Structure 1
C-alpha cells in the first residue's frame, strides 16, 4: 500500500501570521492534527502540529500573540505519494514525528499521519 492510498487530501493551509489560537481553532474544526504553513514571502512550506501548539502553551506562551511562524517546523521531511507506507513509517520513526506533508511536482497534495497508516494496517481494513 502506498502513501497516496492512506493520505488525507484535504490540507489545512494557514499563513505564518495566524496566531496559535487561530491555528488551533481551525485544526479543531477540521479535526486534523497539523496545518501546512505557507509563506509566500519566504517561498516555502512548513508544518505546525498540535504538539507545537501544546509545547508553546506549556512554555507559557500566549496563544493570542504567538504566531504560527514562530512555531513552524521548516526543515520538513516530505513524502512522495508513491512511497510505501513502510517508507513513511520509517521516516516518521527516524525523525520522531507523526505527520508527513505529501508532495508531488505541483506542491503539497496531502498529509499522512501515523493514524492514517495504522488505519490502513488494522486487521479490519486488511480483511475488507
Structure 2
C-alpha cells in the first residue's frame, strides 16, 4: 500500500451525510383513527328505517354487497343496526316467516358506535371484545359512516407493511 494512502475517517464524511433516512422522518408518529379509514373508503351510510321489512333489508344487503345496515328514523337519528347475523338468528327462530317481519323487531338496539377521532386500536378491541363486526361512525347529526373489522385490519396491515418498508430503507440507506 502506498504510504500516501490514509483510510477514510468519520470526520471526512461530516457534512455530506444525508438525513433523509432516519427514524423521525420514516416512522409515522400519528395514531391511526377511524377518520383515516373513512377518508379512503368513503363515508356512505346505507340505512334502513325500523318499519321496513326484513325482506327489503335482505335485498339491500345483497345489492350493496354489505353485511349490516344502520337503522335510522325519519330525522336520520340512529335507532339500531341490523346485521346478517341478526337475520340468520331470526331465520332459525321463525323459518319461513322471517322476511315479512319488521326491522325494528330484529335489529340490535344497543349499538356500539365510534367517532372520527377514535383510535383504530380501541375500535378493534371493542369489536373483538363485543364479538361484532360493524360499527357506525357518529357525527354531530347522526351516522356518518360505517367501519368493519375488515376495514380496521386491512388498514393496520397496510400500516405495518409501510412501516416495514420504511425500516428496510432506513437500514439499507
TM superposition score category, shorter chain reference: 0.7 to 0.9
State the 1:122 CA deviation. Answer: 2.1
**Which deviates more from structure 2 when the two are superposed, residues 7-16 or residues 79-88?**
7-16
> 1:6 aligned to 33, 37, 40, which one?
37
CA RMSD in angstroms comes to: 2.1
Query: Which secondary structure state, in structure 1, belongs to the residue aligned with residue 121 of structure 2?
Result: helix
Pairing of 1:38-53 with structure 2 (within 5 A): 38-40=72-74, 44-53=78-87
Query: How many angstroms does 1:44 deviate by?
Result: 4.1
Asked if structure 2 preserves the Cα contact closer than 8 Å seen for 1:19 and 1:65, the reply is: yes
The Cα of 1:114 is off from its aligned counterpart by 0.5
In structure 2, C-alpha distance between the alignment counterparts of 1:105 and 1:123, rounded to whole Å = 30
Instruction: Point out which structure has higher relative CO (alpha carbons under 8 A, 6+ apart).
Output: 1
Using the alignment, how far apart are the partners of 1:87 and 1:104 within structure 2? 18
Q: Structure 2: any 5+ residue segments left out of the alignment?
A: 1-31, 166-173
Match of 1:113 in 2: 148
CA positional deviation for 1:38: 1.1
Instruction: Determine the structure 2 residue equivalent to 1:82.
Output: 117
Larger strand share, 1 or 2: 1
Task: State the TM-score, normalizing by the size of structure 2.
Answer: 0.66
Give the conservation status (yes or no) of the 8 Å contact 1:79–1:102: yes
Structure 1 residues 126 and 45, CA, compared in 2 at 3 Å: closer, same or farther? Answer: farther
Q: CA 1:82–1:15 in structure 2 vs 1: closer, same or farther (change >3 Å)? A: same
From the CA coordinates, give the structure whose radius of gyration is larger: 2
| Contact 1:47/1:72 (<8 A) preserved | yes
